Amino acid sequence: MKDHKIQKLTLAGALAALTTVATLLIQIPSPTKGYINTGDVLVNLSAWILGPLYGGAAAGIGSALADLISGYTVYAPATLLIKAGMAAVSYFVYKRLSQNRKSFFAQLAGAVAAEIIMIFGYAVFAGVLYGSLSSALLSVPENIIQGVFGAAVSAAVYELVRRRGTRLNVL
To the nearest whole percent, how much of the chain has pLDDT over 90? Answer: 60
pLDDT in tens, 26-64: 888 777 666 778 899 999 999 999 999 999 999 999 999
State the pLDDT confidence band at 169, using cuts at 50, 70 and 90. very low
What pLDDT, on a 0 to 100 scale, did the predictor assign at position 154? 92
Look at residue 22 and tell me whether its pLDDT is greater than 80.
yes
State the pLDDT confidence band at 138, using cuts at 50, 70 and 90. confident
146-150 own/partner pairs: CB under 8 Å, 24+ apart: 146/36, 146/37, 146/40, 146/115, 146/118, 147/40, 147/112, 147/115, 147/116, 147/118, 147/119, 148/115, 149/38, 149/40, 150/38, 150/39, 150/40, 150/41, 150/43, 150/44, 150/111, 150/114, 150/115, 150/118
Question: Which top CATH class is 2-168?
Answer: mainly alpha
**Burial category of 155 from C-beta neighbours within 10 Å (exposed 0-12, middle 13-18, buried 19 and up):** buried
What pLDDT, on a 0 to 100 scale, did the predictor assign at position 139? 82
Nearest to 94 by CA among 154, 15, 163: 154
Look at residue 162 and tell me whether its pLDDT is greater than 80.
no
